[in-house]
Chain A
Amino acid sequence: MQNSQIHAANSAPLAHEEHPSYLRHHFNSTEQQADAAGFAMWLFLLTEVMFFGGLFTAYLVYRNWYYPAFVSGSHQLNVVWGTTNTAVLILSSFTMAMGVWCAQTRRRRGLVLCLALTFFLGLVFLGIKTVEYREKIEKHHVPGFHYSLQSFLDPQSDPEVYKEYHDKALVPDMARHTELYFSLYFLMTGMHALHMIIGIGILGFMILRARAGAYTAGHETFVVNFGLYWHFIDIIWIYLFALLYLISRH
Chain B
Amino acid sequence: MSGQNKHAHTIVGPRVYVAILFALLLGTALTVWASYVDLGFWNPIIALAIATGKAMLVVLFFMHVWYSTKLTKLTVVAGVFTFMILISMTLTDYISRAWGSW
Binding site for B on A (CB under 8 A): 3, 6-7, 10, 28-29, 31-32, 34-35, 38-39, 42-43, 45-46, 49-50, 53-54, 56-57, 60-61, 64-65, 79, 83, 86-87, 90-91, 93-94, 96-98, 100-101, 104-105, 227-228, 231-232, 234-235, 238-239, 241-243, 245-247, 249-250
Count B-side interface residues using an 8 Å CB cutoff. 54
Q: Determine the residue in chain A with the shortest Cβ distance to B34.
A: A246
C-alpha spacing A228/B5, complex, angstroms: 21
Q: Which residues of B contact A53 (CB under 8 A)?
A: 83, 86-87
**CA A249 to CA B91, docked complex, whole Å:** 23
Across-interface contacts of B76 in A (CB, < 8 A):
42
Complex interface: chain A residues within 8 A of B39 (CB)? 250
Q: A245's closest neighbor in chain B, by CB? A: B35
Task: Write out the residue numbers on chain B whose beta carbons fall within 8 Å of the beta carbon of A56.
Answer: 87
Q: Is the CB of B54 within 8 A of A238?
A: yes
- The residue in chain A whose Cβ has the minimal distance to the Cβ of B91 is A60
Contact of A247 among B11, B14, B35, B58 (CB under 8 A): B35
The secondary-structure label for the interface of chain A is helix
**B20, B32, B59, B82 — most chain A CB neighbours (10 Å):** B32
Is B5 touching A28 in the complex (CB atoms < 8 A)? yes
Known A-B contacts A101-B14, A247-B35; the reply to A43 vs B75 at CB < 8 A is yes
Which one of A32, A65, A239 lies within 8 Å of B5 (CB-CB)?
A32
CB distance B21 to A54 under 8 Å? no
Question: Chain B residues near A250 (CB, 8 Å)?
Answer: 38-40, 43
- Of B21, B79, B95, the residue contacting A49 (CB under 8 A) is B79
Neighbouring B residues of A97 by C-beta, 8 Å:
12, 17, 20, 61-62
The answer to whether residues A61 and B90 also contact, given A83-B32, A97-B17, A104-B11 and a CB cut-off of 8 A, is: yes
Assembly CA distance A93 to B62 (angstroms): 8
CB-nearest residue of chain B to A83: B32
B51 touches A242 (CB 8 A): yes
Closest 7 CB pairs of A and B: A247-B44, A46-B79, A246-B35, A242-B51, A94-B21, A242-B47, A42-B75
**Chain B residues in 8 Å Cβ range of A10:** 1-2
Q: Is the CB of B62 within 8 A of A227?
A: yes
Give the nearest-CB partner of B84 in chain A.
Answer: A53
Contact A101–B48 (Cβ < 8 Å): no
A93 to B54, CA, bound (A): 12
User: Could you tell me the distance between the alpha carbons of A104 and B40 in the complex, rounded to whole angstroms?
Assistant: 47
CA of A232 to CA of B51, assembled, Å = 13
